[in-house]
Amino acid sequence: MLSKNARLWLGLIAMISLLSLASACHNSGGDEANDNTGPTEGAGKTYTAKNNEGTISGVVSYNGTAPENKKIDTSADSACTSKSPDLKTEEWVVADGKIANAYVYIKDGTLADGSKIGDYGKWPNMPASATLDQNGCHYHPHVLGVVVNEPISITNSDPTQHNIHWTPKVNPEWNQSQPNGAPPIEKTLQRAEVLVPVKCNQHPWMIAYIGVTKHPFFAVSAEDGTFTISGVPAGKYTVVAWKEGGQAGTEKTMEVTVPANGSAKADFAFGEAATTSAQPSSLQMMPAIEFPMLRRH
Ligand SMILES: [Cu+2]
């Protein structure tokens, strides 16, 4: 027989267990509007703007003579041929030695207050939505950056049917036909993944890439090779530039320091004898450490 005291304690422990279970259930339900079942990477701490955030900017260059894009045989679909008679692969978009469509993002890092960037799931200025258009039997944009659970509106601007087929490694695979004139398809990617290839089962040459991150600190280089990532909290970060090509693309990695109210420069180079450089862009900036790149051609 248990003593009265022991029974009291047991009752108390049982009650505390039940309470903590109930609160855990409540938390997992969360306040995030999310129809997807299972865990997502959207969860995490909320970052409150300190109004001293900085920027990371730079230029992505190509050293040497960039490879030529190949002409695509679109004869399998006359609608593609008539709309895009000179369709070419888009692996290389290089002008004056500057690379477009490089995906640059903060891979990892520590904020000035010691917290990790990966601890956060909610940031000010999270992008609300993105569009991936099929126009002229190619995807536009060719490289797209989104945050976890950001609605991606997939549109068909062509007089033919497409079949969007993404082939992620950590997100679920998905494909769906979209006939000409069909309404946009809205999809999300629930887990961080850099990058998700997007193909088309109707047109084997079609390819796009979607970078998915938990934070809004990514950019795709413009036609002049430039990119800017703004709203970055002061801290030290590993910044990666990804360029498609080969099996899984090529990455260049760099360590930068973003001072409060300041900017960090991150110039990347691909191609022959490519180098990376991180230099102070102003006196405000603290010294940046250059890391050796991951891979060379
Ligand atoms: Cu297609």
CA of 83 to the centre of ligand 1 (A): 13
CA of 34 to the centre of ligand 1 (A): 30
| Sequential pLDDT tens for the chain (297 residues) | 445 555 655 554 545 444 444 443 333 333 233 333 334 554 789 999 999 999 999 999 999 998 899 999 999 999 999 999 999 999 999 999 999 999 999 999 999 999 999 999 999 989 999 999 999 999 999 999 999 999 999 999 999 999 999 999 999 999 999 999 999 999 999 999 999 999 999 999 999 999 999 999 999 999 999 999 999 999 999 999 999 987 788 999 999 999 999 999 999 999 986 555 554 444 333 333 333 333 333
CA of 214 to the centre of ligand 1 (A): 29
CA of 177 to the centre of ligand 1 (A): 9
30 φψ region: left (φ > 0), alpha (ψ -120 to 50), beta (else): left
CA of 65 to the centre of ligand 1 (A): 31
User: Per-residue pLDDT tens for 112-142?
Assistant: 999 999 999 999 989 999 999 999 999 999 9
What is the DSSP code (8-state) at residue 178? E
CA of 156 to the centre of ligand 1 (A): 9
CA of 165 to the centre of ligand 1 (A): 9
CA of 85 to the centre of ligand 1 (A): 15
Residues 6+ apart with CB under 8 A from 198: 132, 139, 164, 165, 166, 167, 207, 208, 209, 210
CA of 206 to the centre of ligand 1 (A): 6
The reply to whether omega before 183 is within 30° of 0 (cis) is: no
CA of 162 to the centre of ligand 1 (A): 4
Report the Cα 124 to chain-centroid distance in Å. 17
CA of 25 to the centre of ligand 1 (A): 43
pTM as predicted: 0.79
Task: From 157, 143, 144, select the one nearest 92 (Cα to Cα).
Answer: 143
CA of 163 to the centre of ligand 1 (A): 6
